[in-house]
Amino acid sequence: MWSQGRFRRNGNKADDMLAFAETAARLGFPAIEINYVIPPEGVEELLSNDHVGIVSLHSPTPRVTTAGGKSSDALNLASTNEEERALAVQRARVTVDHASRCGARYMVVHLGGIDGGIFGEERELRKRYDAGERDGAEIDVLRRGAVERRGEAAPSHLPLARRSLTEIAEYAASRNVSVGLENRYHYHEFPGPGEMRELLDEYPPEVAGFWLDVGHAEVLDRLGLERHDRWLNELGDRCIGAHVHDVDGLADHRAPGYGTADWPHYAEKLPPGVPRVFEINQKIDEQQVAAAIPFLRERGILPPSS
């Protein structure tokens, strides 16, 4: 994610991924996650780099434009359109192939959501949050409306998400890649905490697990739609990795230390030994990115340096 637009060379439209890998190593990161925004040629550069290891790939990697004109990362694994759902599974399997090639242990998956995208109630909640309106009767009505809308629509989509997970997990397991289901940024997306537990109960930990996204957990909490502490309190035993980034208001993907995430909670609840991937956006400067490592060491999110 952080590489986007930062490593353009000689007027090229694509970033120089070898330059990114070299910079990541210089800033103190021994390994990276290949993000789903990277095009095929950039993925190939990263797979052959000598600067950093690759711990995970964020599905669907690489980003391509499909025959239907959609970007690969816009495909919905829970879509009621079977052609789209099947194509989304196909692109996830490509991610598995790349992970297998480089020996990456994990792939991170967005399991899709309710057709139609973000709920109107959530859009309004976000607008009001940014305007400083956090509580009150009208806010409660919006929250209840979002919960009701999701409850009505989920039964038509969640079985399709489950089917997609089955198809991806079987393929990944045969190639020794673990599927990490990520908690999502928008309320219409799957899975919620209870849904996550039900989905993962069908798989051993080495096949599929929970991938915590700190920013997403914090944002839905601030909107009053899902408590941020539910994820690790209820699913810590199934957590196999995490995206660690800070949150300023509703803006996530900030460098840790430049927001108000509940770091004491994550330090207490994140299992030791699982990857911590710094999913920081491309607008953040190098100094903040590098400073995130000692910041999280001091707070117990990362182990002390040896």
Look at residue 1 and tell me if it is in a domain.
no
- Please report the pLDDT score of residue 67 as a whole number: 82
Q: Where are the alpha helices (DSSP H) in the chain?
A: 17-26, 40-47, 82-102, 120-130, 137-173, 193-200, 214-222, 230-235, 263-269, 286-298
Domain that holds residue 96: 17-116+160-298
Give exposure, 124-161, as e/b (b: 16+ Cβ within 10 Å). bbbebbeeeeeeeeebeebbebbeebbeebbeebbebb
Percent of the chain with pLDDT over 90: 96
pLDDT band at 306 (very low <50, low <70, confident <90, very high): low
Per the listing, tokens 């069908």 go with 202
Average pLDDT on 181-190 reads 98
Q: What share of the chain is helix, strand, coil (3-state, %, to 5)?
A: 45, 15, 40
Average pLDDT on 263-284 reads 97
Percent of the chain with pLDDT over 70: 100
Look at residue 181 and tell me if it is in a domain.
yes
Write the CATH number for 169.
Answer: 3.20.20.150
Q: What is the C-alpha separation between 186 and 33, in angstroms, rounded?
A: 22
Average pLDDT on 132-155 reads 97
Q: What is the C-alpha separation between 26 and 87, in angstroms, rounded?
A: 38
Q: What is the C-alpha separation between 107 and 211, in angstroms, rounded?
A: 10
What tokens does 171 get?
């393929």
Instruction: Give the single-character DSSP code of 227.
Output: -
Is pLDDT above 90 for 2?
Answer: yes
R_g (Cα) of the chain, nearest Å? 19
Look at residue 121 and tell me if it is in a domain.
no
Q: What is the C-alpha separation between 26 and 141, in angstroms, rounded?
A: 50
- Please report the pLDDT score of residue 12 as a whole number: 82
pTM over 0.75: yes
Average pLDDT on 140-153 reads 98
Q: What is the C-alpha separation between 112 and 20, in angstroms, rounded?
A: 29
Average pLDDT on 182-202 reads 97
Look at residue 155 and tell me if it is in a domain.
no
- Please report the pLDDT score of residue 10 as a whole number: 80
Look at residue 173 and tell me if it is in a domain.
yes
What tokens does 112 get?
């899709």
pLDDT tens per residue, range 25-40? 999 999 999 999 999 9
pLDDT tens per residue, range 51-98? 999 999 999 999 999 988 899 999 999 999 999 999 999 999 999 999
- Please report the pLDDT score of residue 52 as a whole number: 98
Look at residue 122 and tell me if it is in a domain.
no
Contact (Cβ atoms closer than 8 angstroms) between residue 199 and residue 168: no
Number of domains present in the structure of the chain: 1
pLDDT tens per residue, range 93-122? 999 999 999 999 999 999 999 999 999 999
Look at residue 244 and tell me if it is in a domain.
yes
Per the listing, tokens 């070299």 go with 22
pLDDT band at 211 (very low <50, low <70, confident <90, very high): very high
Q: Report the first-to-last Cα separation within the chain, whole angstroms.
A: 28
What tokens does 27 get?
């800033």
The number of helix segments (H) and strand segments (E) in the chain equals 10, 9
Contact (Cβ atoms closer than 8 angstroms) between residue 107 and residue 180: yes
Average pLDDT on 295-305 reads 94
pLDDT band at 305 (very low <50, low <70, confident <90, very high): confident
Q: What is the C-alpha separation between 104 and 132, in angstroms, rounded?
A: 43
